């Protein structure tokens, strides 16, 4: 009712008193002042300063862009993990005798990973490291989105071939043929190109 009067002044203290506002505190004295929750402070600052509001919008857009880049990286990394459990379980159930020591078991897993690496990339993880000693990641970290999709498919197929009892040499030959075929299809697929641009 008082808001229309020329003498009306709405101080932060009066606002808190009349509305029982939360998130705003008024302190008197030498080190006093008005303090507010950051969301409230942003709203007030945006209302009185167009420059601040523009800064806030720009900063939000920048953070969302960074978040999208990070999400893209996560998508790339997660593509290789889609069938990883299926693959390692197949190795565990069919290729690892019960008498192996833990170090030997790790070697079997590494060997199986290299069957996929050779089928797709044409080299083992060690060969790649020897050729790329200046890089911090590994062969799969440097893979493009087409290779990662293909790799996820190869993991699933290798698990199936292991269950069928195919030898490592037989599986490598079949996986390499499939990798060549799939990479030709993937690199010519428009939807994959759109995904690559987003990532």
Left if phi > 0, otherwise alpha if psi is -120 to 50, otherwise beta: which for 150? alpha
Give the per-residue pLDDT at 150: 85
Give the per-residue pLDDT at 161: 92
For the chain, which ranges sit under pLDDT 70? 68-101, 103-109, 189-199
CA distance 171 to 179: 12
Give the per-residue pLDDT at 6: 82
CA distance 117 to 195: 23
Q: Are 138 and 110 in contact (CB under 8 A)?
A: no
Left if phi > 0, otherwise alpha if psi is -120 to 50, otherwise beta: which for 171? alpha
Give the per-residue pLDDT at 2: 75
Give the per-residue pLDDT at 135: 87
pTM over cut 0.75: no
């Amino acid at each position: 009712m008082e808001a229309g009067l020329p003498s009306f002044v709405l101080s932060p203290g009066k606002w808190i008193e009349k509305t029982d506002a939360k998130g705003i505190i008024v302190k008197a004295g030498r080190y006093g002042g008005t303090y507010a929750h950051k969301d409230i402070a942003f709203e007030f600052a945006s209302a009185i300063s167009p420059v601040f509001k523009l800064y806030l919008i720009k900063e939000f857009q920048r953070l969302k862009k960074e978040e999208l880049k990070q999400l893209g990286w996560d998508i790339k990394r997660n593509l290789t993990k889609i069938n990883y459990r299926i693959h390692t379980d197949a190795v565990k159930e069919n290729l690892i005798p019960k008498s192996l020591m833990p170090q030997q078991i790790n070697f079997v897993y590494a060997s199986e990973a290299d069957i996929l690496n050779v089928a797709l990339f044409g080299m083992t993880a060690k060969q790649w490291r020897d050729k790329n000693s200046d890089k911090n990641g590994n062969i799969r970290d440097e893979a493009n989105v087409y290779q990662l999709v293909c790799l996820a498919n190869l993991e699933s197929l290798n698990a199936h071939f292991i269950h069928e009892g195919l030898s490592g040499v037989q599986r490598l030959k079949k996986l390499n043929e499939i990798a060549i075929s799939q990479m030709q299809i993937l690199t010519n697929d428009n939807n994959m190109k759109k995904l690559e641009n987003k990532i």
